[in-house]
Amino acid sequence: MIVSYVNQTLVLIKTGPISSAVHEPREPMESDSDMIYTLDWDISKERFHMEGHTEFLDKHHYSQIPEKQEVVKDLLLKMVRHMREAVDEEAPRMFSRLVTLMRLCSRQEIEQIHQSFYHRESSDFTPEEQKKIKDILPDAIALCGSKACIEHLVAKIRSNDIPVVRAVLALKSLINTRTVSKEIIQELMTLTTEPAERNWFLKQATWLTIGSMMNALCTPNEDTLAREYKESPEKFCSRELKTQYSRVLFEKFPRLRNGKTRSCSSRPSATLVWT
């Protein structure tokens, strides 16, 4: 392991009154602090990613990107051009920028992007490039990880708009979601009924992803949300969510014992214990 240390020395150059005023941002968010930057910006972003509140998009200047579809088109065009013979170093950079842009999109904007580049044939892309885009978009939407992106992904899986293989890979990518919430978990649990019953691999990916998210949300860890400084941590992993998750799981157990699902190699039984 390589460790780098940087030693710096602060030197007082001069003291005196402030010669220039710092201007406050236009239309600042309401805050109980006099600081220009407060946790309220992070809280607003977390509420958007976790629960879909659009206040963050309405007031955050970084989200005010004009013509997002044109930006997405430009990123996709550059990405697929860097993936012709082999994936060069520019393609992952373009993909990272695409995911970042997706995190600043509303549910309606994500749907527009999906319809424009997943379904419609564009003269700007060759058939081979169009095929690559259909593989790229579900992964980008999954790595986006916001509630708007996950709602869109679940809707497309339920409607069979995304092939099962791509859907399974996208669901597995949700394990790396930055900000998990009970709303996101409840959205994924809608896949445990009819859609997941059609395919065993889809069912497996759905339950593994939900279990991973429940662990991230309900198990004490070092990750702290900005919202936890103003709201109780118990609010995010409520008793109702734990009860709902446990009830749905135990409803599946009799079917496993009756052999109504695909058999797997024997594994030791597990016990659910919630604190």
One pLDDT digit (tens) per residue for the chain, 275 residues? 455 666 777 777 777 776 666 565 566 556 555 556 677 888 888 889 999 888 888 777 666 777 888 999 999 998 988 887 778 888 889 999 999 999 989 999 999 999 988 887 777 788 888 888 999 999 999 999 999 999 999 999 999 999 999 999 999 999 989 889 999 999 998 888 776 667 888 988 999 999 999 988 888 877 778 888 777 777 788 888 888 888 888 887 666 555 554 444 334 344 444 44
What is the pLDDT at residue 265? 39
Contact 79, 136 (CB under 8 A): yes
Global pTM? 0.75
What is the pLDDT at residue 155? 93
The three-state secondary structure class of 154 is helix
What is the pLDDT at residue 56? 82
Q: How many Cβ atoms sit within 10 Å of the Cβ of residue 234?
A: 9
What is the pLDDT at residue 95? 92
What is the pLDDT at residue 28? 57
Closest CA to 180 of 231, 138, 218: 218
> How distant, in Å, are the alpha carbons of 25, 85, 97, 217, 221 from that of 213?
36, 37, 25, 6, 13
Contact 46, 179 (CB under 8 A): yes
Q: Distance from CA of residue 115 to its chain's centroid?
A: 20
Extract the tokens encoding 53: 């509140």
What is the pLDDT at residue 33? 56
φ, ψ of residue 254 in degrees (nearest 5): -60, -35
Angstrom distance (rounded) from CA 241 to CA 165: 29
Helix, strand, coil shares, percent, the chain, to 5: 60, 0, 40
Angstrom distance (rounded) from CA 78 to CA 125: 11
Extract the tokens encoding 112: 């527009």
Contact 82, 88 (CB under 8 A): yes
